[in-house]
Amino acid sequence: MGKPTKKRTNYNEDILNVLKDKYGYSLDYIRKSLRGDRTGIMPDLIIKTYKELEIAAKAAVAEKAESLK
């Protein structure tokens, strides 16, 4: 038997800290919500907010990279 090949997902730590401050939940609960281990209204809201912040962060990086060219 070999080692398991399950890949771990890395989340943006800055976004996780923003979500922690906004909603008051622990980082563990937020990660489990993003992974799908938690169900309900709040995990859905956390996932939606995380995706919005992630898109904004990627856009900001792309904009800054474009200005450096």
pLDDT, tens digit, for every residue of 5-43? 778 889 999 999 999 999 999 999 999 999 999 999 999
Q: What residue segments make up the domains of the chain, in order of their start?
A: 13-68
Does residue 2 register a pLDDT over 80? no
Q: Please report the pLDDT score of residue 1 as a whole number.
A: 59
Q: Please report the pLDDT score of residue 6 as a whole number.
A: 76
Does residue 55 register a pLDDT over 80? yes
Token couple for 6: 């399950």
Q: What one-character-per-residue DSSP string does 23-49 give?
A: H---HHHHHHHHHTSS-SHHHHHHHHH
Q: Which residues contact 16 (CB under 8 A, 6 or more apart)?
A: 27, 30, 31
Q: Please report the pLDDT score of residue 30 as a whole number.
A: 97
pTM (predicted TM-score)? 0.85
